[in-house]
Amino acid sequence: MRVIHGPGGPLPAIPDDLTIPQFMLDIEHPSRPKTDKNRPWMIEEATGREVGEEELRSRTDSLANALKIRWNIGDEDVVCVFSSNHVDYPVIVWAVHRLGAIVSTANPSYTHDELVHQLKTTGTKLIFAHSTGLAVAEAAARTVGLTPERIVLVDSLPSGKASYADIPQLIQQGSKTPKSYTERKLKPGEGKTKIAFLNFSSGTTGLPKAVMIPHYAQIANIIQCTVWAETDTKPWEDRSFRPGRTIYAALPLYHAYGLAFIMHFGFFLGMPLVISQKFVFTDMLKSIERYRITTLPAVPPMAVLFVKHPDVKKYDLSSIKSFMVGAAPVSPELQSALANVFPQATIGQGFGMTETFTIVALQRHDQKVGTLGSAGVLIPGVEARVVRPDGTDCAPDEPGQFVVKMPSLAQGYLNNEQANKETFVDGWLNTGDEVIINDQGELFVIDRIKELLKVRGFQVAPAELEGFLLDHPDVSDVCVVSLLDDFNGDLPLAFVVPTASAKERMGKDPAEAEKIKAAIVKYVADGKIYYKQLTGGVEFIDAIPRNPSGKLLRRFLRDKARSTRQKAKVSGAKAKL
* Of the candidates 81, 85, 82, the residue with the CA atom closest to the CA atom of residue 46: 85
- Domain ranges in the chain are 50-185, 452-576
Q: Which CATH number fits domain 452-576: 3.40.50.1820, 3.30.420.40, 3.30.450.20, 3.30.300.30?
A: 3.30.300.30
Per-residue model confidence as pLDDT tens digits over 216-245:
999 999 999 999 999 999 999 888 899 999
What lies within 8 Å, CB to CB, of 266 at 6+ separation is 247, 249, 272, 273
Please tell me the class of the 50-185 domain: alpha beta
Q: How far is CA 447 from CA 8, 299, 361, 469, 553, in A?
A: 28, 16, 16, 16, 13
pTM score: 0.83
Stretch among 85-94, 430-439, 456-465, 498-507 having the lowest mean pLDDT: 456-465
For residue 111, is pLDDT > 90? no
Residue 204: its pLDDT value, please? 39
H or E element: which one contains 348? strand 346-349
d(CA 555, CA 559): 6
Per-residue model confidence as pLDDT tens digits over 289-328:
999 999 999 988 788 899 989 999 999 999 999 999 887 6
d(CA 361, CA 464): 20
For residue 160, is pLDDT > 80? no
Residue 315: its pLDDT value, please? 97
For residue 17, is pLDDT > 90? yes
No. of H helices and E strands in the chain? 17, 29
Instruction: Indicate the length of the chain as a whole number.
Output: 577
d(CA 152, CA 134): 10
3-state secondary structure of 336: helix
3-state secondary structure of 393: strand
Residue 570: its pLDDT value, please? 60
3-state secondary structure of 155: coil
* Helical residues (DSSP H) of 354-401, grouped into ranges: none
Per-residue model confidence as pLDDT tens digits over 177-207:
999 999 989 999 999 999 999 998 854 345 6
- What is the share, in percent, of the chain residues with pLDDT greater than 90? 73
Q: How far is CA 69 from CA 152, 176, 257, in A?
A: 14, 12, 33
In sign, the C-alpha dihedral spanning 269, 272, 274, 277 is positive
3-state secondary structure of 187: coil
Q: How far is CA 97 from CA 143, 215, 340, 433, in A?
A: 26, 9, 44, 32
Which residues on adjacent β-strands are paired with residue 325? Answer: 298, 349
Cβ proximity of 335 and 349 under 8 Å? yes
What lies within 8 Å, CB to CB, of 36 at 6+ separation is 243, 270
pLDDT band at 458 (very low <50, low <70, confident <90, very high): low
Per-residue model confidence as pLDDT tens digits over 33-78:
998 888 999 999 999 999 999 999 999 999 999 999 999 999 999 9
